[in-house]
A = this chain, B = another copy of it.
Amino acid sequence: MIIVCETKATEAQISALQQVIREAGLQVHRSDGTEYTVLGVVGDRSRLDIDAFSLMPGVRNVVPVSTPYKLASREFHPENTVVPVGETTLVGGAEVVVMAGPCAVENAEQIEASAQFVAKSGARILRGGAFKPRSSPYSYQGLGVEGLKMLRHAADSYRLAVVTEVMTIEQIETVCEYADLLQVGARNMQNYPFLTALGRVKKPILLKRGMAATIQEWLMSAEYILTEGNHDVILCERGIRTFETATRNTLDLSAVPVIKHLSHLPIIVDPSHGVGDRRFVVPMARAAVAAGADGVLVEVHPDPDKALSDGPQSLTFEEFGTLMNRCRIIATTIGRSLARTN
């Protein structure tokens, strides 16, 4: 951290600043320029509340030099992290991993048919919601444990791994019995007690970006999980909230290269929630692969018009099959691969 003092800061003010820093057990290095004095602070930044300095007398600017997250940063861990999901899938390596399936598990037939088709098309992981966070208390809330069982059975039949959302600390144990990858929804991205609990779990976590979360906040949420000992975190961009209303959210694909630059964690993209309209999901899924995402999470439904939730953004089997073929070529173009059939 660097503190730039005001041009007119008094010697007493500067001394006071230095004292506060030293009292916090940190070192301070002073440099007097012709226009202003600069204090460089060295040590464990977590011991100081950086904002607390910004209004102290004599302070002009406080400049964080190091990032507020550590374990999640590429500086700390220069190599890409590769996260194993289930027995055979690796996320964050050369392969672009496709996770697909319906928004919600509705019944055994629906999830079986979905599993069969997405496996055949090259997906590695079956998605499907059993516990659904809904903004209205009157909306469909999911099948619960019954849905998890159907999901697991369908995935096993076609050698897929399972990703599904877990919403509360209480659900973690149950969801761990059935799922290979635990999804944290956008609305829970800053639910810190929940993140801490997930940091103690022996399964990988798929951490969706909050609707209004900056990339830095997102990495700090990952840090909550990492500090507890669970190093298998996959990030998932799913759109941020902007003024634009033509799409449900604004899918921020630039988060892919930015995360690759700042962090070693894998990042995948969910174009289905990102745009909320089937007609725009296909081009955005292709774009995600071209941007360098480690995977995509796509909603597919045997009969989207009859889906109990998110029908308008779910692809038909046919649309999904075509998409996979194109993404496979795009992946190859940038030196990656995408599974052919499972």
Residues of A at the B interface (CB closer than 8 Å) are 2, 4, 27, 29, 31, 33-36, 38, 40, 42, 45-46, 49, 51-52, 54-56, 60-61, 63, 65, 68-69, 133-140, 167-170, 187-188, 190-194, 196, 210-212, 214-217, 220-221, 223-224, 227, 240-247, 250-258, 261-262, 274-280, 282-284, 286-292, 304-305, 307-312, 326, 329-330, 333-334
Contact in complex: A56, B289 (CB < 8 Å): no
- The one of B247, B254, B289 in contact with A274, judged by C-beta atoms closer than 8 angstroms, is B254
Query: Which partner residue on chain B sits nearest A186 by CB separation?
Result: B190
Smallest CB separation, A243 vs chain B (Å): 5
Smallest CB separation, A37 vs chain B (Å): 10
State whether A277 and B35 are in contact (beta carbons under 8 Å apart), knowing that A214-B245, A240-B244, A333-B329 are contacts in the complex: no
Query: Which partner residue on chain B sits nearest A256 by CB separation?
Result: B283
Contact in complex: B250, A135 (CB < 8 Å): no
**In the complex, which residues of chain B have a beta carbon less than 8 angstroms from the beta carbon of A133?**
190, 192
Smallest CB separation, A208 vs chain B (Å): 13
- The one of B34, B61, B140 in contact with A65, judged by C-beta atoms closer than 8 angstroms, is B61
**In the complex, which residues of chain B have a beta carbon less than 8 angstroms from the beta carbon of A29?**
31, 33-34
Complex Cα spacing A324 to B4, Å:
35
